[in-house]
């Protein structure tokens, strides 16, 4: 199945959106070897771009995109749990572990977050340490804080 990709600049981040005919396969801020994807703005990629633009402007709190999640059963369970964290709120790794019925699995939750292929749309930036401090964000704690602050401005 052919994969498409297109990169957009959102100011704070450049995001590349990947899709195939069935759904979004990845949204990433990391530079990847894009040899295996066709650089093209498909209708699905444009839809994701529009929703991300609305998010960054404070107009969107939930995403409505067909995501193709590939990972272990546990990872997918964690990613789906992340999508239940309300906009403008945070949860601890421990709370997510409890939510997925793995009470002592907070480190495993952290590892699943690290494998999240859908930046912002699957909001791993909303997960914090038990001490309420920002920890472990693949794009850096400055970006994590920026996203949390963005959401707080909207909900207040």
Q: Of 5, 37, 102, 124, which residue is the catalytic one?
A: 124
Sign of CA dihedral 88, 92, 95, 96: positive
Backbone angles phi, psi at 21, to 5 degrees: -65, -20
Active site residue 124: yes
Are 146 and 12 in contact by the 8 Å Cβ rule? The answer is yes
Q: Kindly give the residue spans of alpha helices, DSSP state H, lying in the chain.
A: 43-56, 73-82, 93-99, 106-114, 141-155
Active-site annotation, residues: 124
């Amino acid at each position: 199945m052919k994969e498409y990709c297109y990169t957009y600049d959102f100011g704070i981040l450049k995001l590349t959106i990947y899709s195939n005919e069935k759904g979004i396969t990845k949204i990433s801020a990391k530079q990847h070897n894009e040899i295996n994807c066709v650089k093209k703005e498909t209708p699905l990629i444009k839809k994701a771009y529009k929703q991300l633009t609305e998010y960054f402007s404070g107009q969107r709190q939930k995403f409505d995109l067909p995501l193709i999640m590939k990972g272990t059963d546990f990872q997918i369970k964690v990613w789906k749990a992340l999508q239940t964290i309300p906009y403008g709120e945070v949860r601890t790794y421990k709370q997510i572990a409890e939510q997925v019925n793995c009470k002592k699995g907070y480190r495993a939750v952290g590892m699943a977050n690290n494998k999240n292929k859908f930046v912002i749309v699957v909001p791993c930036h909303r997960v914090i340490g038990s001490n309420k401090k920002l920890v472990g964000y693949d794009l850096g704690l400055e970006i994590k804080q920026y996203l949390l602050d963005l959401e707080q401005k909207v909900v207040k």
